């Protein structure tokens, strides 16, 4: 699949087949994630690959919108490491770029995925629950859960806003 087709056809899928995902594919997805752009090339990301069903069941209960984690063969936990800098929004944006690479690489491999955020600046409970389940140190932030597997549902085409409503030339 070429890059443009991958970008234009990727959809969030929340229902997965039981079919295991080969480790080589997961390794390639993580390899794609680590090649994402990052501010100052800090590369502030780290990844936890969760296959254990009990762990996925626990993660599916950390918040209402993570309920489908348990149904995926694999869950990639997207984390942000301490880069030694003060709070920097650019680190969060960099990790988000790595997350998008995960979603696109999974789609390119014929897999389904769905970005599910954990980091919530207004509610630390989901992140603290995930931290306890995954034994993540306090200096590492858990940004999102990304379940991955072979799709067990067909997604309809995404409705996107018209380009003319979003695009400005030279000035607003």
pLDDT band for position 155 (cuts 50, 70, 90): confident
Residue-wise pLDDT for 63-98, tens only, equals: 999 999 999 999 999 999 976 666 678 999 999 999
Cβ proximity of 4 and 105 under 8 Å: no
Structure tokens at 145: 């859960």
Cβ proximity of 33 and 99 under 8 Å: yes
pLDDT above 90: residue 158: no
118-153 per-residue burial string, b: 16 or more CB within 10 A, e: under 16: bbeeeeeebbebbbebbebeeebbbbbbbbbbbbee
pTM above 0.75, yes or no: yes
Can you point out the beta strands (E) in the chain?
A: 45-50, 74-80, 112-113, 116-117, 141-149
Q: Which fold has domain 3-166?
A: NADH Oxidase (3.40.109)
Cβ proximity of 18 and 73 under 8 Å: yes
pLDDT above 80: residue 7: yes
pLDDT above 70: residue 54: yes
Domain boundaries, the chain: 3-166
Higher pLDDT, 147 or 84: 147
Q: Which of 61-70, 100-109, 110-119, 154-163 has the lowest mean pLDDT?
A: 154-163
Distance between first and last Cα of the chain: 35
Q: Which of 127, 141, 136, 113 is nearest to 59 (CA)?
A: 127
35: Cβ–Cβ under 8 A, 6 or more apart, which residues? 101
Question: What pLDDT, on a 0 to 100 scale, did the predictor assign at position 157?
Answer: 83
Query: Mean pLDDT, to the nearest integer, of 37-48?
Result: 94
Question: What pLDDT, on a 0 to 100 scale, did the predictor assign at position 83?
Answer: 64
State whether the Cα torsion 33-39-40-46 is positive or negative.
negative
């Amino acid at each position: 699949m070429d890059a443009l087709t991958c970008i234009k056809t990727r959809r969030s899928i929340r229902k997965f087949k039981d079919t295991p995902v080969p480790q080589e594919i997961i390794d390639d997805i993580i390899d794609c994630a680590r090649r994402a752009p990052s501010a100052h090339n800090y590369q502030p990301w780290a990844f936890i690959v969760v296959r254990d069903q009990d762990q996925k069941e626990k993660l599916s209960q950390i918040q209402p919108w993570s309920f489908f984690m348990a149904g995926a063969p694999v869950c990639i936990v997207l984390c942000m490491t301490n880069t030694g800098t003060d709070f920097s929004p650019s680190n969060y944006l960099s990790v988000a770029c790595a997350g998008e690479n995960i979603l696109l690489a999974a789609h390119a491999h014929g897999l389904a995925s769905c970005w599910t955020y954990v980091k919530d600046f207004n509610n630390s409970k989901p992140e603290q629950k995930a931290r306890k389940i995954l034994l993540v140190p306090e200096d590492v932030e858990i940004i999102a859960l990304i379940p991955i597997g072979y799709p067990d549902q067909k997604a309809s085409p995404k409705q996107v806003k018209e380009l003319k409503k979003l695009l400005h030339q030279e000035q607003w």
